[in-house]
Amino acid sequence: MKKNDKKYMTLALEEAKKARVLGEVPIGAVVVYKGQVIAAAHNRRELDQNPTAHAEILAIQKAAEIIGSWRLVDCSLYVTLEPCPMCAGALVNARVSRVVFGAKDAKAGALRSLYAIGEDPRLNHLVDVRAGVLAVECGAILTDFFRDIRRSKSSIDAEE
């Protein structure tokens, strides 16, 4: 683990908290370029009614705009949940050098859990992947969010 991985994952968790306040699934991401955070984002699928508005996609779009290139070769992305296949593909296509994620995603994880898209030698770019940084904290915010949704649904059902 690199010395600043926890620091940057903490920033990604702050983004996840912003998503939760908005009623979005609490996933946050930050992009680091040469030791500086250049982009931060959180899920906005519900707000934007956009199926591609995942934290990772929004963060790499902002980073590309800041750098002025779609090639994010010297960038690291920190994200609270293991990227899905769409996001993992975008990370490869954006040439992101390194991805650090917190919680694994057993149902949609595409960097380790179900697939290893970033490390597939058949693709034209490989991503250095680090899993499990602040995994407990990253998993807890998601667990709490979905537990609260189930409780709300139960209380609404009980009222009917």
Q: What are the residue numbers of the active site?
A: 56
Residue with tokens 């979905």: 146
Determine the distance from the C-alpha atom of residue 139 to the mean position of all C-alpha atoms in its chain, rounded to a whole number: 12
Three-point CA angle 69, 50, 57, nearest 5°: 30
- φ and ψ at residue 34, rounded to 5 degrees: 50, 45
DSSP count for the chain of H helices, then E strands: 5, 5
Residue with tokens 């290139």: 69
What single-letter DSSP state applies at residue 117?
A: G
The whole-angstrom distance between residue 16's C-alpha and the CA centroid of its chain comes to: 9
The H or E element containing residue 38 is strand 36-42
Which residue, among 101, 103, 129, 98, has the nearest Cα to 116 in the 3D structure? Answer: 129
